[in-house]
Amino acid sequence: MALPPTPTEIPLSEAVGRYLESCRRRAMIRRLSTATVTNYTVDLHRFLELLPQAGEHTTESVTGAHVDEVLLAYANTTDHRRRATPGDVVGDPRKRMAATDEEAKAPGSTLRMRRSLSRFFAYCVEQSWATVSPMRTSEMEPKDEGKLRVERTSLDLEQAKALLVHGPGDAKSNPHHDRDAIALGLMGVLGLRAGEIVALDIDHLTRATPTAPASLQIYGKGRTWRTVPLPPWLEDLITAYRARLGTGAPAPLLLSPTGRRLAVRDIERLLERAVKRTRAADPARARAVVPHGLRHTAATLMLAEGWDVKIVAQLLGHTTVHTTSQYLDELPGELSVAVNAHPLTPVRA
């Protein structure tokens, strides 16, 4: 039996740089999303900041105990989504130590950091920079991610309708109202991820014919393509938007004011502005939501309308219905309606 090759140790910081460069190259050929590369970059740089004497470590010297020490320190920093109070020290909120458990990182954030480290050290082993991954002896692994933040859960039907109507604004209040309406429709109706939307080109659109509806070719997770039918009203919005841009417009389906491809953060900001417009126009039905919350909205509302879960899974690009089930949120009053409609409910005279 052949022994594994002796690892070629390199400085830990150099390994991080090489790994992130590899991630950026994979993003260029769409084997990774740019958002994923951004997360890896933030997490690994934070790892180097929190690891004592990081500059003295090599790819072979990091142990599971070192990883646990970093994860514990990371978990005790404040959640950067929490707004600073007047008494807080000015600085990077990601590096501020939490004063209470409520201010500390959510278990899901620490779990994401751990996954980033797992992928990095697995790469080190693949490159023969380390014998084994220190993650094998790491003991700090958050299991319970807790409830989703409200912004990541689905809107109810009235909230979703209000966002689609008021969120884009109009030509007077928002010069990009048609583009924003398309983005909101792709997220809230078809359940597309923000990363999938920004990757769309106009060539991915197939126009409707007398025998077939319009459709989009979506490049999703797992480096797979799927075809998503496009409702006529959304096709009309895209057609009018591209006509306004002119025949010489760049290839990306949705463009920034300077004509470049949108980034995931642009989609997030677009949605934040849409929520503000909705709150101004219809405060009773307005609620904060993030792009993934609109993906939850699409799945939940379709299932509530009686769609087959396999069809919803296909639309969202899930390989199993188990994944789809994790996207479903209970709508207000839905459980009560279901119980009252039970087939064994006695019929009142």
Residue 276 lies in a domain: yes
What local confidence, expressed as pLDDT, does residue 2 receive? 54
Strands (E), the chain: 205-206, 214-220, 224-230
In this structure, the answer to whether residues 109 and 161 fall within a common structural domain is no
Q: What is the DSSP string of 148-217?
A: PPGGGSPP-HHHHHHHHHHTT--TTT-TTHHHHHHHHHHHHTT---HHHHHT-BGGGEE--BTTB-EEEE
Comparing 176 with 336, the larger pLDDT belongs to 176
Whole-number mean pLDDT of the chain?
A: 83
Q: Residue 167: is its pLDDT beyond 60? A: yes
Residue 116 — very low, low, confident or very high, per pLDDT cuts 50/70/90? very high
pLDDT-based confidence at 262, cuts 50/70/90? very high
Which has more confidence, 83 or 304?
Answer: 304
Spatial CB neighbours of 242, under 8 Å, sequence gap ≥ 6: 202, 249
In this predicted structure, what is the pLDDT of residue 148? 60
- Assigned domain for 35 exists: yes
- Selected residue with higher pLDDT from 349 and 224: 224
pLDDT bucket at 251, cuts 50 / 70 / 90: very high
Buried b or exposed e, range 162-199, using 16+ CB within 10 angstroms: bbbebbbbeeeebebbbbbbbbbbbbbbbbbbbbbbbb
Cα 41 to Cα 37: distance, rounded to the nearest angstrom: 6
The answer as to whether 342 is a domain residue is no
Same domain, 122 and 235: no
Cα atoms in the Cβ-side hemisphere of radius 13 Å centred on 299: 30
* Residue 1 belongs to some domain of the structure: no
Q: Does residue 198 register a pLDDT over 90?
A: yes
The confidence score (pLDDT) of residue 286 equals 94
How many angstroms separate the CA atoms of 323 and 338, rounded?
Answer: 23
**Domain with 313 in it:** 150-332
Q: Using 50, 70 and 90 to split pLDDT, how confident is the model at 337?
A: very low
Residues 127 and 42 occupy one common structural domain: yes
**CATH (domain of 244):** 1.10.443.10
Please check whether residues 158 and 250 belong to one and the same domain. yes
Which whole-number Å values give the CA distances from 160 to 191, 256, 331, in the listed order?
12, 25, 12
- Residue 94's CB: how many other CB atoms inside 10 A? 15
Closest CA to 234 of 272, 269, 208, 265: 208
CATH number at residue 31: 1.10.150.130
pLDDT tops 80 at residue 53: yes
Selection from 268, 282, 332, 329 nearest residue 162 by Cα: 282
Residues 202 and 286 placed together within one structural domain of the fold: yes
The verdict on residue 61 lying in a domain is yes
**Residue 334's pLDDT band (cuts 50, 70, 90):** very low
Same domain, 204 and 323: yes
Judge whether 88 lies within some domain. Answer: no
* Rounded mean pLDDT, 251-259: 94
Question: How many domains, in total, are found in the chain?
Answer: 2
The per-residue pLDDT for range 5-42, each reduced to its tens digit, is 677 889 999 999 999 999 999 888 877 778 888 989 99
Q: Grade residue 93 by pLDDT with cuts at 50, 70 and 90.
A: very low
* Per-residue confidence (pLDDT) for residue 96, from 0 to 100: 55
Residue 107 parent element (H or E)? helix 107-126
For residue 205, tell me if it sits in a domain: yes
pLDDT over threshold 90, residue 220: no
pLDDT at 200: 95
Do residue 130 and residue 235 come from a single domain?
A: no
Burial letters 52-85, b for 16+ CB under 10 A, else e: eebeebbbbebebebbbbbbeebbebbbeeeeee
